[in-house]
Structure 1
Amino acid sequence: MRLPLALLEVFDAIARAGSMRGAAEALGVTPSTISHQLKSLEKQMGTALFVRTTRSVLMTEAGRALSRGALPAFDQLANAVQEARDVGGSPRGSLRITLPEFAYTMALAPHIVSFRKAWPEIELELIMTDALVDLMEAGYHAGIRQGDRIEQDMVAIKLGEPLPLAVYGSHDYFERRGKPQSPADLLFHDCIRYRFHRSGRLAPWVFHDAGEPHTVDVSGGLIVSDLPALYQMIADGLGLGYVFRDGPPEALRRTGLASVLTDYLLPIPGLNLYYPREYRSMLPLRLFIDHMRGAFRVDDPGALPAEALQRPASHAPQSSKA
């Protein structure tokens, strides 16, 4: 027999309060409503659940049998409701964010320590991939991507300015091979190429001349799918790399990396944190967003619908759809 949950809730309230009036106060209804709903429940069950007197309401054997199963069930239901409220409503719990490796290295890494110190009860899981994923389907709460690579039904938060690019080489390499004076000169240099994890595509080397973009089909003896390794290979003099200007670790910058062809390079869209609208009130996510805003010193912290972001073409080691 399936009974309306509302009627069982009335039974639970009477059993706990020991009176019709007490149950009415607990549920915010009138005593007459409680009496009417109890009669409806007893009629559907075909048995009396309480013995009513002028002074008290006592459970029958049938009532006690129902209470042994119903009261613990309502306790579990109340706990489940409270847990659901707590998830996202308190500064604790899990927060799962997907992002490409370069976004962690260049943007998040310096600020994770301070975030953990500020909110130690939030379990932060960072899933690093260059693939674009369905956040809800994959069970992620948010993602970090370039501004032109965000689904249009998401809320987006700007984390920083456009990302400048560079063609880096070591002083040792330039002493041996010379410096390219134009993008076409790269055809005669060893170029270390980057391959996307998910799609397997090679990242294109795109340059701008008189406002027009064009791609140089570079070659070389090294291909890598890890940006830190790419920077290290450049520093070791193994070739030139088309990378983020601010990406090399400080230790590698001190070894003497030099950039070339700067007049032919334009920045690509900056990083944005994005999330489904359904998670806008999730407190761990809000705390993470506020922390990142402060870390990046974002002047305009407003949340924008993703479709409001500019979507220019971008060409660099970045997340890949495939």
Structure 2
Amino acid sequence: MRLPLATLEVFAAIAQHGSLRAAADALGIKPSTVSHQLKSLEDQLGTVLFARTTRSINLTESGRALMRGTLPAFQQLSEAVQAARNTGQAARGTLKLAVPEFAYYLFIGAAITSFRQAYPDIELELSVADAFSDLLAEELHAGIRLGDNIAEDMIAVRLTPPLELVIGASPDYAKRFGLPGEPRDLLDHECIRYRFQSSGRIAPWQFEGEEGSYAVEIRGSLTVNTLPASVDLARRGLGLVYTFREFCARDLENGDLVPALAEFLPVTPGLHLYFPREYRNMVPLRLFLEHLKSEARHQTRT
């Protein structure tokens, strides 16, 4: 039997307010509708729920049994409706994010530190992985990606300018094997390959030439699926790494890595925050986005 929720709501209102008219006023409907709904419920249950006199209306034993079961349920339903109405409407609650590992180390990690200080009542849950995330299927609110990898049905907001790429090698590797002078020279080098976590494909090394973009099918005996590991292996002199310049800026500055083929490397679209349209008014998400944009502007100025 389907639950007669509408008539149960009328029943609960009569029991709480003590009359059909008072129940009608509380529900914003006509007294005749209340009377009709009550009769419909009693007919469906096959029992009388109220003993009526010209002066009063009182619960029968069956009515009291029904009231004991329905009152807590309606209270829970009311609380659930209020919770749904309030969720995402204040600077509190949980915000779940998909963050690529390189983006976390490049930008997001530092921004989270200051965000937590500014909004301690917002809980952050991070899914840190380079694999693409299905936000709705994984019950996530937003994600971070490069701008050319975002589905058209998502809202995307730019966080950073385009990102430069770099090919880096340790000074020891450069001393022993030299550095490539042009992209095809990579075929004679040990290159640290990156395998995408989602597709399992080896990431191509992209270059720009007079005829446009092209890729070189690099070779190497080391393959990883995280960018921090690839940079660390290059730093140890085990091969060339292809990554974001900002990701290893400190290594380049202090000489732990030396760059190669800079004139052939493209730039990539900047990092974007993306999210389903249904979450565009979610307060914790809006605050997080504003904070990231502020942090990005600060980094640009410095």
TM-score (norm 1): 0.82
Q: Number of residue pairs matched?
A: 298
Is contact 1:97-1:142 (8 Å) kept? Answer: yes
Residue 66 (1) aligns with residue 66 (2): yes
Is contact 2:130-2:226 (8 Å) kept? Answer: no
Match of 1:29 in 2: 29
Post-superposition CA distance 1:7-58 (Å, at most 9, x none)? 1111111111223333223212233433343333334444432344555432
Match of 1:243 in 2: 243
Alignment of 1:57-136 (within 5 A): 57-136=57-136
Q: What are the ranges of 5 or more consecutive residues in structure 2 without an aligned counterpart?
A: none
Match of 1:263 in 2: 263
Shift of 1:3: 5.4
Is contact 2:96-2:124 (8 Å) kept? Answer: yes
Structure 1 range deviating more: 169-178 or 96-105: 169-178
SS at match of 2:215: strand
Structure 1 range deviating more: 176-185 or 47-56: 47-56
**Separation in structure 1 between the aligned mates of residue 3 and residue 251 of structure 2, nearest angstrom:** 69
**Separation in structure 1 between the aligned mates of residue 199 and residue 253 of structure 2, nearest angstrom:** 30
SS at match of 2:42: helix
Match of 1:7 in 2: 7
Distance 1:41 1:100, change over 3 A: same
SS at match of 1:148: helix
Structure 1 range deviating more: 149-158 or 29-38: 29-38
Shift of 1:246: 0.6
**Separation in structure 2 between the aligned mates of residue 158 and residue 54 of structure 1, nearest angstrom:** 70
Match of 2:218 in 1: 218
Shift of 1:231: 1.7
Question: One-letter code of the match for 2:63?
Answer: G
Match of 1:181 in 2: 181
Q: CA RMSD in A?
A: 2.5
Alignment of 1:131-170 (within 5 A): 131-170=131-170
**Separation in structure 1 between the aligned mates of residue 149 and residue 127 of structure 2, nearest angstrom:** 17
Post-superposition CA distance 1:216-271 (Å, at most 9, x none)? 23334433322112222223333321111111163664244332221111101222
Structure 1 range deviating more: 218-227 or 94-103: 218-227
**Separation in structure 1 between the aligned mates of residue 183 and residue 2 of structure 2, nearest angstrom:** 75
Residue 228 (1) aligns with residue 228 (2): yes
Distance 1:50 1:226, change over 3 A: same
TM-score (norm 2): 0.87
Structure scoring higher RCO (CA < 8 A, sep ≥ 6) equals 1
Distance 1:263 1:270, change over 3 A: same
Shift of 1:63: 2.0
Is contact 1:21-1:31 (8 Å) kept? Answer: yes
Distance 1:221 1:47, change over 3 A: closer
Match of 2:197 in 1: 197
Is contact 1:50-1:60 (8 Å) kept? Answer: yes
Question: One-letter code of the match for 2:187?
Answer: L
Is contact 1:91-1:284 (8 Å) kept? Answer: yes
Post-superposition CA distance 1:293-318 (Å, at most 9, x none)? 222239xxxxxxxxxxxxxxxxxxxx
Alignment of 1:267-278 (within 5 A): 267-278=267-278
**Separation in structure 2 between the aligned mates of residue 177 and residue 62 of structure 1, nearest angstrom:** 90
**Separation in structure 2 between the aligned mates of residue 17 and residue 36 of structure 1, nearest angstrom:** 17
Shift of 1:164: 0.9
Is contact 1:51-1:59 (8 Å) kept? Answer: yes
Shift of 1:211: 4.2
Kindly indicate which of the two structures has a greater share of residues assigned to helix. Answer: 2
Match of 1:305 in 2: none
Q: What are the ranges of 5 or more consecutive residues in structure 1 without an aligned counterpart?
A: 299-322
**Separation in structure 1 between the aligned mates of residue 195 and residue 145 of structure 2, nearest angstrom:** 18
Is contact 1:235-1:252 (8 Å) kept? Answer: no
Distance 1:258 1:53, change over 3 A: same
SS at match of 1:105: helix
**Separation in structure 2 between the aligned mates of residue 180 and residue 134 of structure 1, nearest angstrom:** 39
Question: One-letter code of the match for 1:19?
Answer: S
Structure 1 range deviating more: 23-32 or 50-59: 50-59
